[in-house]
Structure 1
Amino acid sequence: MEADRIKWNERFGAEGAFLGERPSPFLAREIERILRLAPGRRALDVACGEGRNSIFLARHGFRTSGLDISDVGIAKAERLAHAEALEIDFHQVDLENCRIAGQYDLIINFNFLLRSLIPEEVGALAPGGLLLFDTILESPQLLVTHNPDFFLRYGELERIFAVFNGEVLFSEEDREGEMPTARLLYRKAD
């Protein structure tokens, strides 16, 4: 969608990084478990934005690809990766019409919710592959000003992943603060 690309280009067009340069705290907290459990080192960062999580994964030895709708975000990510001599394969794509090619040992999906893409992500996991999901949870204050379709409902993330052949290794909902969040670590069956 052109409107989404424009919106994200405006956010990523500012000086500095929109979400900062450090990786997601959830990813940083889980990296040791990921390194221990992932069957290989191929990773996909869905809605990668300016590449902070892609870069973090590449630093930890993953052959990483990143997808995002924003050409401005992708350009920033490429510059940051190049500055560290990291080879990351970034692609500008409209995730609403995306089909994930290839197979990955780790897929991360942070700060983005497109329910119809979740089965595609699970399908792109290698046997024993991991999917780390972290996105915004509904809250009364957010629902006043935002489209409810872009927020997870309470308990929804676990219900979504319960139908797939694998196991949820970790799940939590943080309902406090200005930005409530749901997080999950899923492992596909071997």
Structure 2
Amino acid sequence: SSTANNITDNTGCKELTYIFTRGTSETGNMGAIIGPEVVSDLKSLSSNKITVQDDNTNMGTSGGSTMTSLVKQAISQNPNTNIVVSGYSQGAVIVHNTASQLSSGEIQAAVLFSDPLKAELANTLDSSKVKKFCATGNPVCKNGSDVMAHLFYSDDTQTAAQFLVSAVSFKILSRTQVYSLSYEGRVQGNIDNKKQLYLRLVLWYI
């Protein structure tokens, strides 16, 4: 589907909330280039414990205000949810505007695809909670000349989803995924520490 409105329809209230803003002229409010693939990966990684809301406003202050309102609405519906946001092209600009309007702790992570501003996000988030993707040759986020590079990010969507999930509570992950995270080196420390952490996380999940 190219549309998702779990927040505005009040049909979510899951452990993870994902708010995405599409690129210019994409269909629906999810678009086709980034949104559906990231959502599919997030559903898989979170065992479908996810609320999805997309935003079809244009870039600018009004776009940031709309996403900000969606974040506030998600918090009011479920104060315990973990909110992560993402934007593609003009949507990345909206994420910038949103971050500047929020307080620390209201969103837990952000991913930007093809960011025209080529700038750091506002201090709402620590830099370790922000990830950017810009394809080689993309004239929008780099000084490239390959227009087609702006349209192909399918190889990055799973990495983006994994980053967003790893940035929030391990409790939304399945035991298998926690095991994977601890033993693939995403949790730092020696082997003994990883084993102990894995056991603690499994007990927490149960």
Query: Does TM-score exceed 0.5, indicating one fold?
Result: no
Q: TM-score, normalised by structure 2?
A: 0.37
Q: TM-score, normalised by structure 1?
A: 0.40
| Greater RCO structure (CA 8 Å; 6+ sep) | 2
- Structure whose CA Rg is larger: 2
